[in-house]
Amino acid sequence: MSKSAIVSQIKTLVSLATYNESENLPLLVEEIHSVAEELDILVIDDNSPDGTGKLADELAASDNRIHVLHRTKKLGLGTATVAAFQWAIEQQYDCLLNMDADFSHHPRYIPDMLDAITDVDVAIGSRYVEGGGVVGWGWRRKWMSAAINYYARFFLRLPIRDTSGAYRCYRLEKLREFDFSKVRSRGYSFQEEMLFHYLLLNASFREVPIVFEDRRAGESKINGSEAINALWILFRLGIRFRLFGRGSF
């Protein structure tokens, strides 16, 4: 059976966590379906003041491939992605493909991600493998990203170059019995922690080159205090792993 035939048989859900993304969401949904019309999309909106949730409902009303989860307040990227995992498992999807909702993760890479997931448990859209990269970053942001990725690889022993990016496709089979209450991260460290839990489940990984682009519209959600908290969470996970091993998770 060809890879394209295998891909067509894998039931995949795209998750988009949104907070004030009304300018980006309609165009992003359109572009996702322009490259992979068969994909379902789940929007997880944190009660966006700009009406993103209402807009998502309007899109869903006219397209049965689109679904919406509404949350009462801004609860963090990590909890939004956990909600997407749980919803996808409940609805019997095979894979969850997670993307940022601001076009920093371009849909043009979706076919490569779906192709990779036929062979591994997690396909990672990677800025730090040959063919990948970033556009529009200054030296400080590049240095911070490189430092965080090294930090995560060192403490969590992740065999991955891009540990912090959110553009990923996960096979859900290994998580059907997973206790999501084990996940400690609520914000940006969620990306590294989720890879760590997959690693503990003996998962296989592949990095797919992507070029990360700054958002097209709206404002960045990066928060300094969240970044510091993320480093602390990764440190605690790493020390616990080194002291007590896999059995402590």
Task: Quote the pLDDT of residue 209.
Answer: 98
Mean pLDDT of 47-68: 97
Contacts of 243 (CB under 8 A, 6+ apart): none
pLDDT bin (cut points 50, 70, 90) of residue 184 is confident
Strands 95-99 and 12-18: parallel
Residues 6+ positions from 67 with CB-CB distance below 8 Å: 40, 41, 42, 43, 60, 87
- Token duo for residue 211: 């070029």
Q: Where are the beta strands (DSSP E) in 85-241?
A: 95-99, 122-126, 133-135, 168-171, 205-209, 211-213
Please tell me the predicted confidence (pLDDT) of residue 3. 63
Nearest one of 126, 124, 105 to 204, comparing CA atoms: 124
What average pLDDT does the chain have? 90
| Maximal C-alpha separation, the chain | 53
**Which candidate, 87, 76, 91, places its Cα nearest to that of 186?**
76
Tell me the average pLDDT across 122-147. 92
Helix (H, G, I), strand (E, B) or coil at 101: coil
Q: What is the mean pLDDT of residues 71-88?
A: 93
The pLDDT of residue 141 is 86
Indicate the pLDDT class of residue 233, thresholds 50, 70 and 90: confident
Q: pTM here? A: 0.90
- What integer pLDDT is reported at residue 224 of this predicted model? 55
For residue 198, the one-letter residue type is Y
Give percent of the chain above pLDDT 70. 90
Least confident of 137-141, 172-176, 217-221, 225-229: 217-221
pLDDT in the model for residue 115:
96
